Chain A
């Protein structure tokens, strides 16, 4: 029999899910609300779930305390969470801003339901599993080649100190058989990643912080969704202005360059990356490109279209182009793309004018189910 509290608890979780669904647009457009919490889960603040009552508002921080101190001395702690600590006779009424923990899978599920996203039709090999050995600790036996010198030395030192044979003036340590320690390993089954997302972003002078923030938020949600669809998921990041290079995730979101924009440079690097690392027979490859749509020249745009047609699209599951609006960009590129690839099934374009549009843009990108 399910206990009563479990019923109430699952009811509570249901309400939270409902609330998240209801406010998904807000959560999506304000990326800072969602904080990662360890592996595979996030915390989401949920102020609305408090029951409103007629209560006293901010007491302009007044109160009574007890202890040493002169007038003007600062005191630590927040008076508002004072009483809630005890909770003994069942009247805990602290003003807790509720933070709920949701796993990424659950979040993706909610997002899928709310956005009406279809499950992705995979291609290529179904998730392969590989085994990987990792050194995780020490043990008493093993091959000499794996002997841990440091740990062995420490054991020996400890033993000698304990036995009283250690002489500080002549610190000779002689390990005996029992002192020896060997590195030991564990074999972990690892899902072989069979999907990769290649993010490309224009970091030329016209892309401001706000534009990058939008890209960051959007990429978080795309990651979340694709991660729920594939067991292992890799990401690669390419930044470009007039030239392009592959960078780490942190660099991707922080870099700001000045100078012109040659989008073709990024597409070239992307194509090379696929050549080098990701065999389209085995990988599901997704590429997303974010830019303000201000390309250097018409010639370069033509090169881009050529690259997309011949090099990229045949190998990709999908190519997404997201155009954020910036005060400097002309926004011409998206029009050129649309003209060149009239309703090509693998090429999805979307315009992201404000943060509010992020949700629609995500839906646009992912609704194809590829």
Chain B
């Protein structure tokens, strides 16, 4: 069934045996050699040749094909998170490149299969994408290509407004689906309910039992309960009951959309959630694959005459440009650092409390726990927790990290300093919420006028103002009523509003907080 030439097939068998030997646990991998045009095509579709038609993919294709033709970039390999796992090899690459790519792919595949954040993804997404595409085509036939396409444009501009934790919420606490569209899958995710202890409600905290009658007289409790009930009533009527980060899901359920429109919102939301873990684990995923291609190649698969070519390719992958973080490099170095630490027992209270440089330099408990720890890390972490937990001061110093800043006077980027706390804070900030701003739906009936109110939880960096205004236009198109966003611009709390014809901005007394 495989179209793989026998040379590559033999290679795959060989690499697979090394992967097994090292304990990588992967889906079956189907390699397919493709020419560069085809590669660009698949890459433009994010790895899924069956995706719905949209001009954006054509644009990506145009871009990739050009940068390939001009020799600016080259896509070596492409692998998607499915079972079986499809991986594309670039035809005409040298055999040593193909070996490297295969080892890399097995690394990715192991990560897809075992990392917790991928656990909720649909492993048969290639079919899912095809189904979505055929529905989109059907809508296009019925309502016209431009109508559907421009609606997809609108939704695309909202597709980062999702809640990364939604797929992991406690199943029992999920809200029952209310009025959900048949084709919509909103019901499969939900909001947690607040557990409530009826005997405690309305009471003031009281440590002395004999004062109970004085502090919490029955009429007081009754009044309190009535008040609470009233508040609950209001909250119940309020939509959403609590600020909701799954803006797309909210719109799908509550916006006045036609059936096909709601379905398109749902399709984009589904794909957005599907790709989410890849954005959450970029550093870990690439680092893991790089770690394994390096391990497999240097300890097993390389022949003597291939060393130079391999070194050339591998150094290209982990090359570090000035002023940018290469996820491949950062990831692989961090894994190696962890492996080394756990091999030598450089962790735990004693290690942390040890202040003698001499002792620390020669610290080696010969525990050999490195490999075990690595597999544990790849199972449990995402980029944020990975860096938070393992990006240590030693690592930061060894790897020569620095923060840089634009010099206002010269307009150049300059090294600001090497303060560990600052470097780490900056990195974590860049990674939190997969690099996207925190946007919540606050009120669907704002000012009792059916307007939609969103809030941006400001964490130090302003939104890009012109994009924000255009995104509000998209939101208005979906909500069909005026839409407002609370945010902070230049340290002032602002509300940006779009009423269907013009954008207005007003000052707000308070910034939005959750």
Contacts and interface: CB of A to CB of B under 8 A. Distances in A.
Interface residues of A, number: 54
A67 B325 CA distance: 11
A56 B463 CA distance: 4
B467 A54 contact: yes
A189 interface: no
B47 interface: yes
B418 A71 contact: yes
Given A55-B437, A56-B461, A82-B323, A62 B404 contact: yes
A108 to B, nearest CB: 22
Interface stretch (B184-192, B299-307, B358-366, B407-415): B407-415
B157 A65 contact: no
Given A5-B45, A82-B321, A49 B414 contact: no
A58 B405 CA distance: 12
Contact of A55 (B80, B153, B463): B463
Interface stretch (B5-13, B52-60, B210-218, B503-511): B52-60
Contacts of B464: 55-58
A68 to B, nearest CB: 6
A66 B399 contact: yes
A79 B324 contact: yes
A5 B62 CA distance: 10
B160 A53 contact: yes
A82 B55 contact: no
A54 B162 CA distance: 12
A137 interface: no
Contact of A62 (B159, B406, B466, B485): B406
Interface in B366-421: 399-407, 410, 412-418
A68 B461 CA distance: 28
A59 interface: yes
B461 A59 contact: yes
Contact of B158 (A9, A53, A71, A78): A53
Residue from B49, B55, B59, B473 with most neighbouring chain A CB atoms (10 Å): B59
Given A8-B53, A55-B467, A66 B437 contact: no
A90 B278 contact: yes
Contacts of B285: 89
Contacts of A69: 402, 415
Contact of B156 (A4, A51, A74, A79): A51
Interface stretch (A10-18, A228-236, A256-264): A10-18
B426 A90 contact: no
Contact of A77 (B321, B405, B435, B470): B321
B324 A77 contact: yes
Given A10-B58, A91-B282, A96-B63, A63 B404 contact: yes
Contacts of A89: 47, 78-79, 108, 278, 282, 285-286
A59 B407 CA distance: 13
Contacts of B58: 5, 7-13
Given A54-B437, A66-B329, A79-B324, A87 B406 contact: no
Interface in A1-37: 3-5, 7-15
A212 B161 CA distance: 49
Interface in B41-81: 41, 43-47, 49, 53-64, 73, 75-80
Interface in A73-97: 73-79, 82-83, 85-92, 96
A71 B417 contact: yes
B351 interface: no
Interface in B246-263: none
Interface of A: 3-5, 7-15, 49, 51-79, 82-83, 85-92, 96, 98
Interface of B: 41, 43-47, 49, 53-64, 73, 75-80, 108, 149, 153, 156-161, 275, 278-279, 282, 285-286, 320-330, 399-407, 410, 412-418, 423, 426-427, 430, 435-437, 439, 456, 461-471, 473-474, 485
9 contacts: A52-B467, A53-B159, A55-B464, A60-B405, A65-B324, A66-B320, A76-B322, A86-B286, A87-B64
9 A-B pairs closest in CB distance: A61-B406, A82-B324, A12-B58, A52-B470, A8-B58, A57-B464, A9-B58, A90-B46, A5-B41
